[in-house]
Structure 1
Amino acid sequence: MTIMRIGVDLAKNVFDVHGVDEHEKPALRKTIKRADLLPFFVHLPPCIVAMESCGSAHYWARELIKLGHTVKLIAPQFVAPYRKGNKNDQNDAQAICEAASRPDMRFVAIKDEEQQAILAMHRIRALLVSERTALVNQIRGLLMEFGEVLPLGREKLRMLLPELLEDAENGLPHLLRTLIHRQYRRLCDLDSEIAQYERDITIQVQQDEDAKRLMEIEGVGPLTASALLASVGDIGQFKNARQFTAWLGLVPRQWSSGGKNRLGRITKRGDVYLRTLLVHGARAVMRFVEKKSDRKSLWVKAVKERRGFNKAAVALAAKHARIIWSILSNGTAYRVMPAR
């Protein structure tokens, strides 16, 4: 009996595996401790190993590939329909094994260590940015309780806060001045940390030719180029530009039936971070389209007049996603098309 395919339900310390033979009959049901997982696969002949694309999945995928196995990662939402009975680890492993056998199943590309390290840098920076935003809001809220209302915006707060703390006539208690001063120093530290991560990302993309080509697109800077390349890996996994745009969640949701096509808002599937970077980049570009007369700018202005600023920004982000796919797939440079 030869095991053809194995589904592995990943966990922290205990893993459940479910295997089938060449006749799709169950041939293996086992619970394995973390330390015994790789030795278990060492003694197995090469086969297909399927796992959910979750925490530590890319690490285990790389390790199993080294042992000669073919690894397939599946998004968790595509595994759930194949689960039989109640949710438990063994049923999850069986569902993963079953889902991997579907000929039309979409698999997640396996990331290498460098890709994951770059994405770790983005995640840390994003956490610092969210912490900075919360800190700014807290400072404004605390001061508002004492009748001091600062204008919106982080830069304005950083400019006005030292003057406010030094003003002895505003009636702020000494304890509050001490607390706000500590928060202000923390804000300055966060700004320095975030700036350092952004410098590191900029240095990294300057050494990548694909990233340089992507940054020629308006609205695509070092952060977007770095995050895209680290997340996508092999662009060949997408057959066309629409697949790539759908992977980013920038295509309309469908409610079609009876031959009638009904399109709604964007699906918002996929990586929220990548989609946010693309949309924010598009919003920045739209501030200057009124002064331009190239083909894309004229198209954006027409969409803006028909559908409004926000929908035009999302449409421009989707167009940028298609341009990115074309550049990475064909190895070409970005060209600004003149108006017809």
Structure 2
Amino acid sequence: MYNMLTGVDLAKKEIQVCVAKSNKIVRNMPMTPTAFSNWLATQKPMTVVFEACATSNYWYQCAREYGHDARLISAKLVSNIRQNQKTDKNDAEAVLQASQLSNVNFISGKSKEQQELQSLVRMHQLSVKHKVAYGNQLCSLLLEFNIKLSPTDAGLNSAIQSILEDAENGFSAIFREALHTAWHQYLKSIELVKHYEKSVARASRASEACKNLMKIEGVGPTNAVNLYIALGCCELGVFKKARDAAACIGLTPIQHSSGGKVRLGSIGKNIRNSSLRANLVAGAMSAVNQAVKRDSRTKKDEWIKGLVERRGKRCAAVALANKTVRTAFSLLRNGTDYKAELLSA
């Protein structure tokens, strides 16, 4: 059915399309986005491989709507495969060649719902960065005048209000006006963070998959959305098993195996999506703290307590985050509901 293979190099104004049939390139030509969309609509079902980049998810969805087998491939892999100089023609041909490698790992494409959820999370993350930056700048500038204050919102508010109300502290009217403007900008950033938090919470409650994921210990709205985005597209077999998903997120020990000897090291520091792992571990740490304070209700509570006694809270939090990813993978893959296994009476 998919006897034609097409490699696509995407750009804003021009799209390079390289078509191969029976391992022979029959076309490698540029198209406008409109012409490429019309071309996809008129072609018989084929395998279309896009280099993962901006707009790749849009074209991934478009190709699937027209009945094609659409896939995304790593831009780094394409760069390593590309021969000769970097041109659109060579890039499209490299996409085609990289997709034919044995055991190539394709990137999971996102649905429109997942793209919307991801956008909400990114907006929230950026608003948090802006809030922290505004607060740090205010604290640092005031410290230059030997004004020491607490970095909390209440401490910052108390110090700035005191400065603005004290007419005898020697500050000029221009500086007071600028400080007042900066303070209101900081307050607006706080309101923006709260607004995006509510938006993420509403969106997660509106998604059945996210609602189910939030039943897992240590998974709130943000972690539910992140897990759904990272693991929600399983139809192409991006992750064959749950351990692969946990390893991709960076929650399994790094292997240093050679000569038939398996050596497992520590959890790696350098991973692609550090914010996802950080959020999962933070949520797991919250669940660990709650589990050690109360009587065990489930078998997972007993497992957490035993792990805390043997290895400490930090190790237990990472282990719980690992288990959370594996559980989420199983729920999304099998379409089942999460139910914690209660202790027998």
Shared fold per TM-score greater than 0.5: yes
Paired amino acid for 2:319: A
Alignment-derived partner of residue 178 in structure 1: 177
Q: Secondary structure at the match of 1:189?
A: helix
Are 1:282 and 1:313, in contact at CA under 8 Å, matched by a contact in 2? yes
Does 1:319 pair with 2:323?
yes
State the match for 1:127 in structure 2: 126
Deviations 1:181-238 (A, max 9, x none): 2111111111112212221222222233332232222321112212322443334543
Q: Deviation of residue 297 (structure 1)?
A: 4.5
User: Aligned partner of 2:5: which letter?
Assistant: R
* Residues 313 and 88 (structure 1), Cα distance of their counterparts in 2 relative to 1, 3 Å cut: farther
What does residue 83 of structure 2 align with?
A: 84
1: CA distance, partners of 2:168 / 2:218 = 46
The answer to whether the 8 A contact 1:214-1:334 is kept is no
Structure 2 SS opposite 1:8: strand
After superposition, the Cα gap between the structure-2 partners of 1:337 and 1:54, relative to the gap in structure 1 and judged at 3 Å, is: farther
What displacement does 1:285 show?
2.8
Q: Which runs of 5+ in 1 are unaligned?
A: none
Counterpart in the other structure of 1:281: 283
Q: Which moved more, 1:276-285 or 1:293-302?
A: 293-302
- For 2:246, the equivalent position in structure 1 comes to 245
Q: For residues 208 and 135 of structure 1, do their structure 2 counterparts lie closer, same or farther at Cα, with a shift above 3 Å needed?
A: same
What's the counterpart of residue 6 of structure 1?
A: 6
Cα distance in 2 for residues equivalent to 1:299 and 1:256: 29
Kept in 2, the 8 Å contact 1:289–1:300? The answer is yes
Equivalences for residues 1-340 of structure 1 within 5 A: 4-22=4-22, 24-168=23-167, 170-235=169-234, 237=237, 238-267=239-268, 269-294=271-296, 295-300=299-304, 303=307, 309-330=313-334, 331-335=336-340, 337-338=342-343
CA distance 1:308–1:157, shift in 2 (3 Å): farther
Q: Answer yes or no: is the 8 Å Cα contact 2:232–2:332 preserved in 1.
A: no
Which amino acid letter does the alignment assign opposite residue 281 of structure 2?
A: V
Structure 2 unmatched ranges of 5 or more: none
- The amino acid that maps onto 1:325 is F
Q: SS at the partner of 2:101?
A: coil
Contact 2:231 2:332 in 1 (8 A): no
Q: For 1:51, what is the secondary structure of its paired residue?
A: strand
User: How far does the alpha carbon of each residue in 1:31-54 deviate from its partner, in whole angstroms, 9 at most, with x for none?
Assistant: 223343223334433321101121
State the alpha-carbon separation in 2 of the partners of residues 175 and 338 from structure 1. Answer: 66
* Contact 1:241–1:325, Cα closer than 8 Å, also in 2: yes
Per the normalisation by structure 2, the TM-score is 0.86
Q: Distance in 1 between matches of 2:169 and 2:342?
A: 57
SS in 1 for 2:124: helix
Return closer, same or farther for 1:34/1:211 CA change in 2, 3 Å cut-off.
Answer: closer
Q: Aligned to 2:96, what secondary structure does the other structure show?
A: helix
> Structure 1 pair 109/139, CA: closer, same or farther in 2 (3 Å)?
same
Specify whether residues 46 and 336 from structure 1 end up closer, same or farther in structure 2 by C-alpha distance, changes over 3 A only: closer
1:223-254 per-position Cα deviation (integer Å, ceiling 9, x unaligned): 22123224433345433221221232222222
Which shows bigger deviation, 32-41 or 48-57? 32-41
The CA distance in 2 between the partners of 1:261 and 1:169, in whole Å, is 71
The verdict on how the C-alpha distance between 1:155 and 1:48 changes in structure 2, with shifts beyond 3 A counting, is: farther
Tell me the distance in 1 between the aligned counterparts of 2:53 and 2:189. 30
Q: Contact conserved, 1:293 with 1:338, CA < 8 A, in 2?
A: no
Aligned residues of 1:115 and 1:231 also touching (Cα < 8 A): no
CA contact 2:10–2:56 (8 Å) conserved in 1: yes
Q: Percent identity?
A: 33
The one-letter code sitting in structure 1 at the alignment partner of 2:52 is S
Offset, 1:160: 4.3
Size of the alignment, in residue pairs?
338
Q: Cα distance, 1:115 vs. partner? A: 1.8
Q: CA RMSD in A?
A: 2.8
TM-superposed deviation, 1:293? 4.9
Q: Structure 1's 152 and 284: CA in aligned 2 closer, same or farther, altered over 3 A?
A: farther
**Partners of 1:293 and 1:339 within 8 A in 2:** no
In structure 2, what residue type is equivalent to 1:290? V
CA contact (8 A) 1:248 1:275 kept: yes
* Cα distance in 2, alignment partners of residues 207 and 42 from structure 1: 32
Q: What SS is found at the alignment partner of 1:242?
A: helix
Distance 2:53 2:326 in 1: 27
Instruction: Indicate if the aligned counterparts of 1:140 and 1:150 stay in contact, CA closer than 8 A.
Output: yes
In structure 2, distance between residues paired with 1:329 and 1:68: 23
In structure 1, C-alpha distance between the alignment counterparts of 2:288 and 2:151, rounded to whole Å: 22
Output the CA distance in 2 between the equivalents of 1:261 and 1:173: 68
The amino acid across from 1:313 in the alignment is A
Displacement of 1:57: 0.4
